[in-house]
Amino acid sequence: MDRVEIFEKLKDILRMMGNVDEALIERCGETSDLMTDLGLSSVGMLYIVIAIEEFFQVRFDDVNFGDFRTVGDVIDYIENEQ
C-alpha cells in the first residue's frame, strides 16, 4: 500500500469514528496536526489507534501514539511497519 492509499484509508477511519468534522477531514494533509487541526481528543486518538491497528495490521506497542504529531507521522509509521 502506498502513501496515497494509506492517507485515504486514514481519512476513511476518521470518518468512521464520527468525531471529526467532514470539512476538517477534506482539508487535512500530511502536515495537519492530529489534535490542533483535526481536533482529536486523547480518547479520540485511542479509538483511531485501535482502528489503525485493526485495518493496517500494525501495532503501536513500542511507541507512544502521543509522539505522532501530524498525519504524515502516522503515515510514515504505517509505511515502515508494512
The pLDDT value given to residue 41 = 84
Which cell numbers hold the place of 12?
Answer: 476513511
CATH number at residue 13: 1.10.1200.10
Parent domain of 8: 3-81
The pLDDT value given to residue 7 = 97
d(CA 49, CA 34): 12
pLDDT greater than 70 at residue 65: no
Q: Give tens-digit pLDDT for 9-62.
A: 999 999 988 778 899 999 999 999 998 999 888 888 888 888 999 999 988 877
The pLDDT value given to residue 17 = 82
The pLDDT value given to residue 28 = 95
In the chain, the number of structural domains is 1
